[in-house]
Structure 1
């Protein structure tokens, strides 16, 4: 329906204008009716004033009625309703804020549902495997040999990794983590990170030699450890991992390159989504890369997949 007063920016001005228009309409109707032998001139003037007021003021309160209906729908879990926000006054601004809130609530509800489903799926596999091993031992089907206990330990470690990732994800979403910057030797740091991983063949290079970096060492270690282990999972069993760093005037660029098949260009953005494991089937939670990119952005840097020819290259860029 037409809202003739939507272009006005003040609700007070709209109200005053409605009163003026109604008075003019009533006065004009009464004057015209008084010129004729019509007994109900005053009543006719009042009816005309009410009709004009309804037409002119319709758009002033309709957003409030729409918000009331949308709020009732949201109370029942339906976040799809939106309010027509064409008015430029205070109610129109409220309608815009209401639509933004509805969209945020819809996104939060979608994320909550996906998170519950994904976490349930991720927990089901290691719990089922661990339960099967323990039941076999309890029933005497298998003995508690080091190999059997090792399988149970592997699944327990997988559960621990998932819990740790979920805790980091919760802190990420809540903005509860800040940065504790310090200056450290880049080569020693990268060698330490790679040495603590499961990779057997690796190389570390830093240009210029002896370069230092000022950043949150624990957060950068979390990023690098995730990238190195990701390279191990997606590379061949006997493949090498190359870690190289170049410190420039403005940025520090660190590349982690494996000898795997690489990631297709259409899938490169998706690997940073939560619970996307990029084809990994050996226990990755699918949260690590999302947390790694968040840690990079927390420093004001970036984390991307870049072309290097063969293999896959993750590039971490941090401001100096």
Structure 2
């Protein structure tokens, strides 16, 4: 758009100059010839030289006037074009200042020019993104305050009871206070991790790893815990390498969370299976259990912050944001975490997909 506008201004100046020259040059020439009394039939060499001089003077004078008129025309066209451009730019500048001041709902009208329209779209997108971030921040503060209220109320009740002598300051009561303090500490750690995940500040330390080894390591670490509650924990791992470019600690955290949730959702005598598979583009981790399962409404909310499945065994022990953090970690790797279930009583399936590493031969830990 800008080169076309500049060319248009130049063409207008050139056209104005040409018109002035074409109109004035003959008039000036006729005037000079008339003042010289005409050329006569025997003009000779001297008259021809005079003719050339008259033509040169006429063209020069006409060109001088034409250049002035052309310059004025180009300047006028430039002012008009500039006004057309600067008006939406001023509007976008004012909108940017309002966004910087916290007015995220401001929007800019789209100009007719494609480049300016694209810039206006970017400003509007920025405002919408900042507005959504502010809404999420406000919701998070409210949710954190709500989650902190219960343990703080319990702690306050026990402490006041001990101060008033209603409750004895014995290990049993102090232990309950300590449990609530640990709950607050876990909540603080989880909220910090959630904030980093949602803001993209996880600080991933990636390398090409065999996902089979990650899953196998987590399963071996949790196997004793599963056996203690009578749950069979197994793996299904392919023979070929399943390489992905990941942060091993973070993906291990995701797998631990998924298996831990499955342990809380599965009764004694049930089973949990952690399976790994790979395609040309993706590595897939599936954690399947025979536990309580999820209703359709719960599947829609399971990744929401602080959401806990009603009535789930051990459901109140966590912060309720483990799956939110896990999904943030997976998405930071360019993958996705999804949940599926045929309904209550039919178990659940949590699926992690990760981009496959290009060079599986450089896998560590295989």
Q: Structure 2 length normalisation: TM-score? A: 0.64
Q: Could you tell me how far 1:290 is from its partner in structure 2?
A: 1.4
The 3 A distance-change label for structure 1 pair 91 and 167 is same
Q: Secondary structure at the match of 1:218?
A: helix
Question: 1:193 maps to what in 2?
Answer: 222
Please state how far the C-alpha of 1:126 moved relative to its aligned partner. Answer: 1.4
Any conservation in 1 of the 2:294–2:342 contact (CA below 8 Å)? Answer: no
Match of 1:62 in 2: 87
Counterparts of 1:216 and 1:50 in 2: how far apart (Å)? 60
C-alpha displacement of 1:137 = 1.6
3-state SS of paired residue (1:272): coil
Which of the residues 114, 117, 133 maps onto 2:139?
114
SS in 2 for 1:137: helix
The answer to whether residue 206 in structure 2 is matched with residue 179 in structure 1 is yes
User: Counterpart of 1:132?
Assistant: 157
The 1:225–1:131 alpha-carbon spacing in structure 2 relative to 1, beyond 3 Å, is farther
Cα RMSD (Å) of the superposition?
A: 4.0
SS in 2 for 1:268: helix
Q: Distance in 2 between matches of 1:103 and 1:185?
A: 39
Corresponding residue pairs, total: 289
Distance of 2:155 and 2:208 partners within structure 1: 40
- Does structure 2 conserve the Cα–Cα contact (< 8 Å) formed by 1:187 and 1:210? no
Relative to total residues, which structure has the larger helix share, 1 or 2?
2
Q: What residue in structure 2 maps to residue 45 of structure 1?
A: none
Q: 1:197 to 1:153 in 2, by over 3 A?
A: farther
Indicate which of 319, 340, 354 corresponds to 1:285.
319
The answer on 1:230 being equivalent to 2:261 is yes
Higher Cα radius of gyration: 2
Partner of 1:254: 286
Q: Deviations over 1:161-201 (max 9, x none)?
A: 11121222233222422335555374453031253579712
Deviation at 1:289, TM superposition (A): 0.4
Distance 1:307 1:54, change over 3 A: same
Deviates more, 1:53-62 or 1:113-122: 53-62
1:314 aligns with 2:365: no
Structure 1 distance, partners of 2:295, 2:242, is 32
CA shift digits 1:51-94 (9 cap, x unpaired): 99898766422312322432343354221111123344554443
Q: Which ranges of structure 1 fall in alignment gaps of 5 or more residues?
A: 1-8, 32-48
Alignment match, 1:294: 328
Q: Where do residues 6-85 of structure 1 align in structure 2 (5 Å cutoff)?
A: 9-10=1-2, 13-14=4-5, 17=8, 59-85=84-110
Match for residue 221 of structure 1 among 226, 232, 252:
252
Q: Secondary structure at the match of 1:61?
A: helix
Answer yes or no: is the 8 Å Cα contact 2:104–2:128 preserved in 1: yes
